[in-house]
Structure 1
Amino acid sequence: MGIIKLLDENTINKIAAGEVIEKPASIVKELVENSIDAGASEISVEVKGGGISYIRIVDNGKGINKEDMGIAFMRHATSKLSSEQELNKLVTLGFRGEALASIAAVSKVEMISKTHDSISGYRIYIEGGKIIEEGEYGCPEGTVVTIRDVFFNTPARLKFLKSESKESMYITDIMQNLAMSHSNISFKYISNGKLVFATRGDGDLKGVILAVYGKQIVKNLIDLNCSRDFITVKGYLGNSNISRGSRNYQSTFINGRYIKNKTITAAVEAAYKSMLTINKFPFFVLHIYVNPEFVDVNVHPAKAEVKFQDEQLIFKSIYHCVKDALISASHVPEIEDDRKEFIRNIQKVNYSQQKLDIKTDIETDKKYDGMIANENLTNSYELPRKDIPLNRNDDIYYEKDKTQYEPEGDRSISVGNYKIPNNFENEVTTKRVPKFGPLAVVGQIHFTYIIAEGPDDMYIIDQHAAHERIYYEKYLRDYKSFGMQKQNLIVPIVLEFSVSEKQAIFDNIEQFKRLGYEIEDFGGNSVALRCVPIIYGNPDPKVLFYEILEQINLNDKNVLSAIDKILYTMACKSAVKANDKLSYKEMVELIEQLRFCDNPYNCPHGRPTIIKMSYIELEKKFKRIQ
């Protein structure tokens, strides 16, 4: 007897569902696109438990006849395609006839629908691909689809879903793009009983962007309306004030369909070249209209990627449209923050890459001579030299508005223009042992390196890297033990975020609390900071909070990695910088605190903090000995 068998229809549907239905967000996308194709002007989406337990889509479209209801849940059944030739000029979002069958195969589905000329509606209930109930049903014109218990009959698939909050964020991203793709449709999105956003459906794309991203984004937008070659490009570009550390704020639509395309992304970023710093990416929402015959959307199971007949011409057209709009805007950026991250090479567009690369001029391969790394060090700082007064007893206020802050009292000693709490010194002497012996300070060169000597060696200490290590270990201990030290704000700082950013903040609220923040929902897209961490060196609290949120978003799969990078950032902003002139006493204090660090030899980024040259090596350099 042969061993090859034909699979039954139910098994085939479950396998097919794995391609089409990756997660609850995929279900939302497919069903909302069906509503759009049905001519709906109002679409409501409600989810619970990240869409795993409950999804409900309500539209006022043309509905489905009762004769078609059962057929609609069969594989490759569609009203949108009737011949192979139509694949070359698709004008609908759906066309394969796979979505409803795939959804029904792995969930419990109820569909209620009524057409304009029907006396009553019709209801069908399906579990795991099998029709359980169907019959006449009273309802208004349109369609209601309710999905419950996604992947209830495929536990292996269920096991690989993310947390409910993360699945909810995926749905939020999908809904944001669906709303921006069709500004002429009124969308309402509710998650766990709370309205996330709603749009008016009046065709105003900027109004949708306002609902999704907030006022801060809208006031920094540049209009784009361009026709070139065989395409038309409309939408909005962000100026440099709203550039981001990832490509998560870039939305591209082809003929109303949200897609990802490396050619388009590279063209836009090439047009921004020299306008943004490294590791910064432009914000944009682009609607591109092209003859359907020139684009193939049938190259990806989720129809998220497309291919063009002439990729080079697309690149050229998009590049010039964006470049001309940026030049016409003649935008002079406002100084809003002091972050110094830079955009990646536009030729290396990679949607899966989410981590920020930290590049230095330092070789990180360590070869230790005794206790201290013996390495060559090159310095990459180019800051203007400045003398820092020795009287550094300022209270721990942020410089922008000192009246806003209520310090808990000055409990610090100074190094440079930066403070370290006195309890750090107690911690050092009572709980830690030095990793190397005492050093005598000789002086400072280029206001960047401290020269010191030991019994038999000369030492060179990078003051910024060393101070960064000191602060990193202090902040790490605080975080692990009782949380970061914090200060109350007399006047709260109110910040505005996109819908998905605000959701990420409250999904990670415990992490923010341990980092020293007390956060309150301020309505709409806004949150209020009632408490902020005490971070020495006076960093802008708004900029720091945005950077922390960005790290959490970029490292959502590894919260510990995100926290570590956040502490790196805090330590870097707190530490003395290159070209900061230090007094003799301050240099002594810095070296003494470095001696008691767990790893005094490298900064958190891996650069050496200290190198040495032995007395014998020095004698050899001057040919005193052979």
Structure 2
Amino acid sequence: MAVIHVLDPHTAELIAAGEVVERPASVVKELLENAVDAGASQVTVTIERGGVQRIEVADNGSGIDTEYVPTAFIRHATSKIRTESDLENIHTLGFRGEALASIASVARVELLTCTPEDEFACLYRIEGGQEKGMEPAARPVGTTITVRDLFYNTPARMKFLKKDSTEGTYVAETVQRMALSHPEVSIRFVREGKMQFRTPGDGSRQSAAHAVLGREFARDLLAVDAALHAYRVTGLITPPRACRASRSMQFFFINGRFVKNRTMMAALEAAYKGTLMQGKFPGCVLELTMPPELVDVNVHPAKTEVRFARENEVFDAVYKAVKLALEVPGSGEQQLEFAEQKKTSPAPPVKNEPQPASAARPAMPAVSWQKPAENTVKPQNFTEKIAPSARPWQPVAGGFASQPLPYGAPVRSEPSLDILVEEKEETLPLKNEIPKPVSEPSLPEKEPEAPAAAEPRREPAANPQPEQIALPGTQPQTESLRLVGEVFRTYIVAQRGDEICFIDKHAAHERILYEQLVSRRGAPGSQMLLTPVTVQLSAAEKSAVLQHRDMLAENGVETDDFGGNAVLVRSVPADIAPDDVEDLVVELADRLITNSRQALTEKAEWVLHSIACRAAVKAGDRNRPEELLALAQQILDGEVPPFCPHGRPVILKLTRKELEKQFGRQG
């Protein structure tokens, strides 16, 4: 029969400490909360070896009276609450009185404190829960707590800690959250002797976000400030164009306390519905201020989870506040507004009659390339997508040919251009003949002589393509592949024999790139970036990226630690555009976390999946008929499997017999 024992006090302390002190970041969190509750306006956090060897938190708060210093290290001793009713009206970050006792039971702790009434400071030492004495010392008003040799007396806990760099990253994330939740406090973070960041403490959340999350993330943030019933939502959100491939930049606070709450997250993302691309998530720094009696913060050991009395009201408050911020003019599709400004300002000099000649046409792109550089939106993508539409007059009827408006016409002529691309395969290659219709708009019937001269040059280029298709395939040479067109700028329509083939161009190109990456695995065609890209990640994401650095390098993604929560990307596969580097790394980091238990070979495979997906043409992109025909050729000839790396089908076929059946031509 089992005997029931009463545990000795030391063992009981170690068990209780495990609920509060999980890693160095847990210690920093508890000490920071005590500093803020003490009314500090300046706090300095210093760590060594990721916080395992040394953690020091110094503040200029009110300090602790000398007579109460030993009492502060007794479990459930606190100055925050006194009775049961106080639990329903908590205004402080800490209230349980467990932190100092739990920390002191698994580390060597020194506390140096001084109050405004004291003539000198008090230095108190405690190791493994055993007092080591108290003596007078010197320091200004405030408190400094130094924690050394964390888990020195519990080796079982020590062996479960990660590398010092990883633990240091988790500490940095904890300090960041506190800095964002309390912008009125100037927080300075020093890691391994180097200062990582310092917030100004001016009460501006924008300033805190700039100091903590970096300039790139904080530059375009939109302010949120709205009240509904007893709730008020304040903070910052990212505009739709600046959203990320993961939720790592979502920070939610309730009455100054960082929380992980699905209700607030769902309300945030619901407000963005209809403005985000698939796979993108908004970033935010949102604080919900509400009556403390309507929220229960005493449901989790780390106090990061809460329970609401009226969850629907919380959802509505967050949703409406974010929605109002997104409806402010200029907060959403800023690209379109910027394009309108460009039309109005350069339009007068463009309309001068002496300028429409062929020599004046190259000058127009010069203006278009200078303006987008002022926009915060990625300028290369903006100009590359607009530029192909700057020839609306070539495939359209002669009436549009005489309009010398390179940026006014594309918006009106995009639908007609799409239709003609599908109907006439020769419209896109005619860009060399643009100046002629403009310089002589009154002679549209004489101009076909120039295209007629150019057509014989294209026919030999189009004829060899069916010959190449027939060689590796099983189809007879008489059944060549013919490009019918493209629908919705997404699906290629081709005909071969008695079959009509619908091909998803993104999925097809993704599969082709994936097969190429697999064939050269270990020696990928990577390119060094002219300017290395800095990517801000969460602590967990950065740890995952650095842990798999060798595997990523084998697949063409070379990364380095850049301090704080940032990594520096030096090279990527040659197929990845520089503007997609940040999204690629964020996506890979998120998948490395969610699939941490998979084998290394499986991780390498979906790393290649992500690279191929990012590098492939996208639905909505403009492509030349030759490119579309080449994609269809490789898929239909069986050079690659007819499904994308994610398992989706690439091609759908409709036979002539089935089509005639639908029209009732066959009984």
TM normalised by structure 2 equals 0.68
Q: 1:179 to 1:389 in 2, by over 3 A?
A: same
Q: Indicate the residue corresponding to 2:258 in structure 1.
A: 258
Q: Indicate the residue corresponding to 1:544 in structure 2.
A: 581
Q: 1:587 to 1:84 in 2, by over 3 A?
A: closer
Q: Indicate the residue corresponding to 1:80 in structure 2.
A: 80
Indicate whether 1:113 and 2:155 are aligned. Answer: no
Q: CA deviation at 1:187?
A: 0.4
Q: Indicate the residue corresponding to 1:358 in structure 2.
A: none
Q: 1:517 to 1:613 in 2, by over 3 A?
A: closer
Letter in 1 for 2:527: K
- Per-residue CA distance 1:598-622 (angstroms, 9 max, x = gap): xx354311234578999xx99x99x
- Counterpart Cα distance in 2 of 1:186 and 1:274: 38
- Counterpart Cα distance in 2 of 1:235 and 1:589: 52
Indicate whether 1:534 and 2:607 are aligned. Answer: no
Q: Indicate the residue corresponding to 2:527 in structure 1.
A: 486
Q: 1:552 to 1:322 in 2, by over 3 A?
A: closer
Structure 1 spans left out of the alignment, 5+ residues: 340-382, 392-433, 622-626
Letter in 2 for 1:252: F
- Counterpart Cα distance in 2 of 1:486 and 1:562: 22
More helix by share: 2
Choose from 505, 511, 514 the match for 1:472. Answer: 514
Q: CA deviation at 1:585?
A: 8.8
- Counterpart Cα distance in 1 of 2:522 and 2:188: 43
| 3-state SS of 2:119 partner | coil
5 Å-filtered alignment, 1:113-512, equals 113-334=113-334, 336=377, 386=421, 442-444=481-483, 448=492, 465-478=507-520, 480-487=521-528, 489=530, 492=531, 495=534, 497=536, 510=550
Q: CA deviation at 1:92?
A: 1.2
8 Å Cα contact 2:524-2:573 kept in structure 1 = no
| 3-state SS of 2:183 partner | coil
Q: CA deviation at 1:524?
A: 9.8
Q: 1:243 to 1:152 in 2, by over 3 A?
A: same
- Counterpart Cα distance in 2 of 1:568 and 1:439: 34
Identical-residue share of aligned pairs (%): 39
Q: Indicate the residue corresponding to 2:52 in structure 1.
A: 52
Q: CA deviation at 1:451?
A: 6.7
- Per-residue CA distance 1:345-367 (angstroms, 9 max, x = gap): xxxxxxxxxxxxxxxxxxxxxxx
Q: CA deviation at 1:546?
A: 2.7
Q: 1:281 to 1:326 in 2, by over 3 A?
A: same
Rg: which structure is higher? 2
- Counterpart Cα distance in 2 of 1:268 and 1:556: 23
| 3-state SS of 1:555 partner | helix
Letter in 1 for 2:61: G
Q: CA deviation at 1:210?
A: 0.5
Indicate whether 1:555 and 2:592 are aligned. Answer: yes
Q: CA deviation at 1:141?
A: 2.5
8 Å Cα contact 1:216-1:496 kept in structure 2 = no
| 3-state SS of 2:593 partner | coil
Q: 1:388 to 1:283 in 2, by over 3 A?
A: farther
- Counterpart Cα distance in 2 of 1:521 and 1:299: 36
- Counterpart Cα distance in 1 of 2:519 and 2:19: 46
Q: CA deviation at 1:208?
A: 0.3
- Counterpart Cα distance in 1 of 2:550 and 2:134: 47
- Counterpart Cα distance in 1 of 2:186 and 2:627: 64
- Counterpart Cα distance in 1 of 2:635 and 2:271: 47
Root mean square deviation of aligned Cα: 4.3
5 Å-filtered alignment, 1:588-599, equals 590=634, 595=639
Letter in 2 for 1:469: R
8 Å Cα contact 1:467-1:594 kept in structure 2 = no
- Counterpart Cα distance in 1 of 2:324 and 2:202: 28
| 3-state SS of 1:123 partner | strand
8 Å Cα contact 1:30-1:99 kept in structure 2 = yes
8 Å Cα contact 1:107-1:151 kept in structure 2 = yes
Q: 1:520 to 1:389 in 2, by over 3 A?
A: farther
- Counterpart Cα distance in 2 of 1:120 and 1:584: 81
Q: 1:511 to 1:125 in 2, by over 3 A?
A: farther
- Counterpart Cα distance in 2 of 1:601 and 1:585: 16
8 Å Cα contact 2:635-2:642 kept in structure 1 = no
| 3-state SS of 2:327 partner | helix
8 Å Cα contact 2:23-2:161 kept in structure 1 = yes
8 Å Cα contact 1:493-1:528 kept in structure 2 = yes
Letter in 1 for 2:280: K
Q: CA deviation at 1:50?
A: 2.5
Q: 1:499 to 1:470 in 2, by over 3 A?
A: closer
8 Å Cα contact 1:88-1:293 kept in structure 2 = yes
Q: CA deviation at 1:512?
A: 5.5
| 3-state SS of 2:47 partner | strand
| 3-state SS of 1:45 partner | strand
Q: Indicate the residue corresponding to 2:62 in structure 1.
A: 62
Letter in 1 for 2:648: R
- Counterpart Cα distance in 2 of 1:613 and 1:605: 24
More strand by share: 1
- Counterpart Cα distance in 1 of 2:653 and 2:268: 48
Q: Indicate the residue corresponding to 2:414 in structure 1.
A: none
| 3-state SS of 1:143 partner | strand
Moved more, 252-261 or 197-206: 252-261
| 3-state SS of 2:139 partner | coil
Q: 1:569 to 1:503 in 2, by over 3 A?
A: closer
8 Å Cα contact 1:449-1:463 kept in structure 2 = no
Choose from 643, 646, 661 the match for 1:605. Answer: 646
- Counterpart Cα distance in 2 of 1:263 and 1:611: 41
Q: 1:228 to 1:445 in 2, by over 3 A?
A: same
- Per-residue CA distance 1:10-32 (angstroms, 9 max, x = gap): 11111112221222211111010
Q: 1:587 to 1:245 in 2, by over 3 A?
A: closer
- Per-residue CA distance 1:26-54 (angstroms, 9 max, x = gap): 11110100111111111111123332332
- Counterpart Cα distance in 2 of 1:229 and 1:588: 58
Letter in 2 for 1:7: L
Letter in 2 for 1:139: R
8 Å Cα contact 1:220-1:239 kept in structure 2 = yes
Q: Indicate the residue corresponding to 1:570 in structure 2.
A: 611
8 Å Cα contact 1:300-1:306 kept in structure 2 = yes
- Counterpart Cα distance in 2 of 1:286 and 1:588: 48
Letter in 2 for 1:533: P
| 3-state SS of 1:331 partner | coil
- Counterpart Cα distance in 2 of 1:229 and 1:172: 36
Q: 1:477 to 1:35 in 2, by over 3 A?
A: farther
- Counterpart Cα distance in 1 of 2:532 and 2:122: 53
- Counterpart Cα distance in 2 of 1:514 and 1:232: 49
Indicate whether 1:23 and 2:23 are aligned. Answer: yes
8 Å Cα contact 1:439-1:452 kept in structure 2 = no
Q: How many residues align?
A: 531
8 Å Cα contact 2:181-2:258 kept in structure 1 = yes
Letter in 2 for 1:474: Q
- Per-residue CA distance 1:512-563 (angstroms, 9 max, x = gap): 644545668899998876654311xxx5312233322332244236574555
Moved more, 158-167 or 61-70: 158-167
| 3-state SS of 1:278 partner | coil
TM normalised by structure 1 equals 0.72
- Counterpart Cα distance in 2 of 1:126 and 1:301: 24
Q: CA deviation at 1:61?
A: 1.6
- Counterpart Cα distance in 1 of 2:312 and 2:229: 12
